Amino acid sequence: MSTNSIKSLIRKNILETPPSGIRKYFDLINEMKDAISLGVGEPDFETPWTIREEGIYSLEKGHTHYSSNAGFIELREEIARYMERRFGLRYDPRDEVLVTVGGSEAIDIAIRTFAGPGDEVIVPEPSFVAYKGCVMFSGAKPVTIELKAKDRFRLKPEQVLDAITERTKAIIIGYPNNPTGATMEYEDYAALVEVLKDRNIAVISDELYAELIYKGKHVSIAQFPEMKHKTIVINGFSKAFAMTGWRIGFACCDAEILNQMKKIHQYAIMCSPTTAQFAAIEALRNGEEEVRRMVEEYNRRRLVMVDGLRKAGLDCFEPLGAFYVFPDISSTGLSSDVFCERLLKEERVLMVPGNAFGTCGEGFVRATYATSIENIREALTRIARFVERVKNT
């Protein structure tokens, strides 16, 4: 049997989902010696030692078995306490908290719990690439909303209203946002709640970057009483506690929803890695001081990055969360792709083209400041040189 016929068996919506368009940057940068990557979407810090140490200790003690499907009850209790302490959200650790394999799994199973063929899921863009991909894999149709720089990439109620049809099952909201660094304030959500509260639409709220906020406090849409029962709050340890490689996150929502999500988790995953679960317990018990230290450091770099990009002649709205800046490069006359490719080839600095996060990201690029200040300083020098050259030719 030829491979062609095997391919014909593969589901259409998988074949039709484009692979991430950044492969060429990998290949280019791997050949370079002194390139600086601002394309990494993860902390440069190592997981704090107290957390790593608990993971190691659990292995030494031979804790190498499955946990319950939802995760160790001790961890779920810590998560429930954390959600209340940090965000004023109360969940019952017994049946309203699910420990997942990173926030990514939670996003996937939340989408699949609500959406399938014939359904629609609203996906504001630019946003984390997995949202649209997971919606497509589910067989549902992603309905995108174009977030605007002039709105500071916040989601507006009228945009949501325009996107809603009778087939809408869920909307995905992701703030603090990857790739823009945008945040939503209480008033922004209040306006959104007006549109959503009386509609039967689930809200999947990806709050992975909730700890990384540089002005004010993180707001969750679940804090609105009329929204809590239909909101799935997704959070995790990757960004806040620098635990990306551990693959551990969680979802919190009403038991009515969670018990259904748990079925997918149970059959597809069984349970999250237990070493990571033990480490996560320690993160919530004793890791918050380290989080604060990292946030302080990110903030200093953030300010230098925004200032440097502006001085280099790029329009850059001030990101108040996550660890990304999303400058507007349209003044250079280059497309996002050409900008990034030339910047890498000519100055050996890697940024990610904004259109990798949705077509409306065209004209922007994403740069992370989760890298050393020395790297940032050198990258800014090179970017400034590049922008000047491009604008003068």
Contact residues toward another protein (CB under 8 A) are: 20, 22, 25-26, 29-30, 35, 37, 39-42, 44, 128-129, 178-179, 296, 300, 303-304, 307, 350, 352, 356-357, 371, 373, 377
Query: In the complex with another protein, which residue's Cβ is closer, 72 or 357?
Result: 357
Alpha-carbon distance 238 to 100, whole Å? Answer: 12
Query: In the complex with another protein, which residue's Cβ is closer, 39 or 124?
Result: 39
Instruction: Report the nearest approach of another protein to the CB of residue 29 (Å).
Output: 5
Task: Classify residue 284 as exposed, middle or buried by CB count within 10 Å of its CB (0-12, 13-18, 19+).
Answer: buried
Cβ atoms < 10 Å from Cβ of 143: 18
Query: In the complex with another protein, which residue's Cβ is closer, 230 or 239?
Result: 239
Instruction: Report the nearest approach of another protein to the CB of residue 218 (Å).
Output: 21
Alpha-carbon distance 30 to 164, whole Å? Answer: 43
String of b and e for 169-181 (b: at least 16 CB within 10 Å)? bbbbbbbbbbbbb
Closest CA to 98 of 238, 265, 227, 245: 265
Reading the block at residue 191, the tokens are 């306006």
Q: Which residues pair with 100 in a beta bridge?
A: 249
Alpha-carbon distance 7 to 187, whole Å? Answer: 49
Instruction: Report the nearest approach of another protein to the CB of residue 40 (Å).
Output: 5
Instruction: Report the nearest approach of another protein to the CB of residue 56 (Å).
Output: 17
Query: In the complex with another protein, which residue's Cβ is closer, 283 or 356?
Result: 356
- Answer yes or no: are the C-beta atoms of 380 and 308 closer than 8 Å: yes
Query: In the complex with another protein, which residue's Cβ is closer, 234 or 370?
Result: 370
Query: In the complex with another protein, which residue's Cβ is closer, 332 or 371?
Result: 371
Instruction: Report the nearest approach of another protein to the CB of residue 306 (Å).
Output: 8
- Answer yes or no: are the C-beta atoms of 209 and 62 closer than 8 Å: no
Instruction: Report the nearest approach of another protein to the CB of residue 315 (Å).
Output: 18
